[in-house]
């Protein structure tokens, strides 16, 4: 059996194809020069996702047992604050594009029936409030992918107002992914736990890539990479 550290290091390495494929599709999306209306809807979805991350991680903290490691509570609380900041930063991006103040209630409602196409929906889908391995994997994989995607957006988008904010968000997402890796090392110390984590990781990678295809611009080369690395079949 691999040590927990070896297991996590290998899992992180195996995430790289997902991260690269998702970044390729984000680059293709913004290079396609979407219309102002498309951009507003795109960024509204990202704003709602940041809010959902904030709410879901806060909910997780509120339900943690009394003997939860105080360092873990501190790290996750820092993430909640980061997500709240990202929510504001993306709101500012939308207002920069539209020239109008965002009606937050209407914006959130406009994504109510589409929110399953955003990464934060996986927290509920994988029962991460009750399964600590699922939560640690969500942090490790989804937030790691977010870091790659936001860095790519910051690099591709020519507007300095947007790029500056996206660079800040990308740095935070990397920190959140590190929280997941730190926690995962504490959890995957048995063959059973490692097998559970591998099964969940495989599902998460495929679902996150499907979300990428919905929200950006599918790239055949990226899909080929996913098929080769993870036996991915788009459905």
pLDDT, tens digit (0-9, with 9 covering 90-100), for 128-141: 888 999 999 999 99
Determine, yes or no, domain membership for 106: yes
Q: Which positions ≥6 away from 79 have C-beta within 8 Å?
A: 53, 57, 175, 176, 179
116 pLDDT higher than 70: no
Provide the residue range defining the domain that includes 35. Answer: 4-230
Q: Is 41 exposed, middle or buried (0-12, 13-18, 19+ CB in 10 A)?
A: middle
Average pLDDT on 163-184 reads 93
pLDDT, residue 81, reads 96
First to last CA, the chain: 34
* Confidence at residue 127, expressed as pLDDT on a 0 to 100 scale: 82
What lies within 8 Å, CB to CB, of 41 at 6+ separation is 110
pTM of the model: 0.91
Q: In 3D, which of 15, 21, 35 has the Cα closest to residue 211?
A: 21
What was the pLDDT predicted at 22? 95
pLDDT (0 to 100) of residue 118: 62
Which of 79-88, 117-126, 144-153 has the lowest average pLDDT?
Answer: 117-126
Please tell me the predicted confidence (pLDDT) of residue 132. Answer: 93
How many structural domains is the chain composed of?
A: 1
In a domain, 235, yes or no: no
pLDDT band at 110 (very low <50, low <70, confident <90, very high): confident
Full 3-state SS string of 51-75: HHHHHHHHHHHHCCCCCCCHHHHHH
What secondary structure does DSSP assign to 19-48, as a single string?
A: HHHHHHHHHHHHHT---HHHHHHHHHHHHH
Mean pLDDT of 37-64: 92
Q: How confident is the model at residue 14 (pLDDT cuts 50, 70, 90)?
A: very high
For residue 88, the domain's CATH number is 1.20.910.10
Please check whether residue 65 lies inside any domain of the structure.
yes
What rounded mean pLDDT belongs to the chain? 92
């Amino acid at each position: 059996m691999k040590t927990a550290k070896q297991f996590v290091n290998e899992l992180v390495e195996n995430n790289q194809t997902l991260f690269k494929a998702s970044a390729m599709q984000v680059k293709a999306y913004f290079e396609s020069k979407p219309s102002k209306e498309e951009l507003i809807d795109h960024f509204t979805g990202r704003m709602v996702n940041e809010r959902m991350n904030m709410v879901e991680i806060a909910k997780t903290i509120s339900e943690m047992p009394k003997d939860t490691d105080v360092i873990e509570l501190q790290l996750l609380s820092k993430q909640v604050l980061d997500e709240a900041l990202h929510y504001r930063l993306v709101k500012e991006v939308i207002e920069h594009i539209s020239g109008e103040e965002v009606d937050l209630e209407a914006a959130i409602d406009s994504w109510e029936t589409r929110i399953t196409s955003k990464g934060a929906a996986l927290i509920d889908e994988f029962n991460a409030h009750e399964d600590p391995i699922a939560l640690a994997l969500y942090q490790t994989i989804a937030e790691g992918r977010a870091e790659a995607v936001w860095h790519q957006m910051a690099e591709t988008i020519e507007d300095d107002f947007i790029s500056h904010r996206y660079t800040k968000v990308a740095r935070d997402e990397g920190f959140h992914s590190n929280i997941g890796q730190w926690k995962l090392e504490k959890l995957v110390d048995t063959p059973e736990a490692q097998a559970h984590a591998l099964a969940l990781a495989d599902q998460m990678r495929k679902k996150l890539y499907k979300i990428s295809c919905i929200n950006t611009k599918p790239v055949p080369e990226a899909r080929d990479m996913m098929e080769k690395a993870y036996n991915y079949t788009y459905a």
